[in-house]
A and B are shown apart, each in its own frame.
Chain A
Amino acid sequence: MSEAKGDAGRPRAADRPLSPHLLNWRPHLTMTVSILHRFTGMALYAGALIVAGWTAALAGGAESYDTYRGLLGSPLGRLVLLGVAFSIFYHLAGGLRHLAWDLGYGFEKRTADTTATAVVAFAVTATIAVGAIVFFAGLGLL
């Protein structure tokens, strides 16, 4: 940040209240939740392309479908899909929070903290639920 040379009478750049750079903030809940919202959004960009790939594999016939299914079913594939599931639930809940803000609700500090906690809690719970469904279905229990 360069200091203004200072025309007399005009406030110098350094005197004006400035919003500190991102890295100057002590990490806190609403900030972390906000960053994760963007991060999960970027993950879902890849997730959407994975779904597009799935449709292509299905249209390609049994062989390509089985190959793609094998990829998604591999340990790494399962990890990626679990990450996509988490990103979906997180971004969904965070998105609802954003829509509420757009309507003018939920800006109070305590409300923002509460909804931030709710977003994380929902995402974690829903992801565990989905993981459990896949796990137990794989064991033939569902």
Chain B
Amino acid sequence: MAGYRTPLGRVRGLGSAKHGVGHFIGQRVSAVALIVLVLWGVYSALGLAQMDYAGAQAWARSPWHAIPIAFLLCAALYHGQLGMRVVIEDYIHKPMTKNALLILSLFACWLGAAIGVFSILKVAFGGGAY
């Protein structure tokens, strides 16, 4: 392909565009955010376990809870998507299966985040049942 290109030109085209470490950095940055978020999540879950529906609804209406839980879900699913990608790439070698699983995992995380954020906003903005 493009046999007229010089080796230098080819390297420039294929080499670092300063985006190669995106996965590495995304994993670490989300990890740092999750240190705090996940501890808050465990603390909150222990409280929520004692509450009934009305209590949980009141809990989720507070912006002090709705915003962190949305943040927690998005950061966790983003971090998990990056991690699951590595696992799939490590163990699944058939290109079709591998790519299908990567796309499936991506969709699952986006769907989880979309459902989570929508549901949290719905409760926070005062909706009752559907």
Contacts and interface: CB of A to CB of B under 8 A. Distances in A.
Interface residues of B, number: 41
Interface in A103-142: 130, 133-134, 137
Interface stretch (B1-9, B12-20, B93-101, B116-124): B116-124
B49 A134 contact: yes
Nearest to A60: B130
Interface in A11-69: 38, 41-42, 44-45, 47-49, 51-53, 55-56, 58-63, 65-66, 69
Q: Which label, helix, strand, loop or mixed, suits the secondary structure of the A interface?
A: helix
A44 B80 contact: yes
B50 A55 contact: no
A88 B42 contact: yes
Q: Which label, helix, strand, loop or mixed, suits the secondary structure of the B interface?
A: helix
Contacts of A130: 42, 46
A99 B60 contact: no
A44 B77 CA distance: 9
Contact of B80 (A45, A53, A61, A63): A45
A99 B31 CA distance: 9
B53 A48 contact: no
Interface size class, chain A: 20 to 34
Contacts, number: 101
Contacts of B76: 44, 47-48, 51
Contacts of A55: 60, 69, 73, 115-116, 119-120, 123
A76 B120 CA distance: 26
30 contacts: A41-B87, A42-B84, A44-B76, A45-B84, A48-B80, A48-B109, A51-B69, A51-B73, A52-B113, A52-B119, A55-B116, A56-B116, A56-B119, A58-B60, A58-B123, A59-B118, A59-B127, A61-B128, A61-B129, A62-B53, A65-B56, A85-B42, A88-B41, A92-B34, A92-B38, A92-B39, A99-B31, A134-B46, A134-B49, A137-B46
Interface of B: 28, 31-32, 34-35, 38-39, 41-42, 46, 49-50, 53-54, 56-57, 60, 69, 72-73, 76-77, 80, 83-84, 87, 108-109, 112-113, 115-116, 118-120, 122-123, 127-130
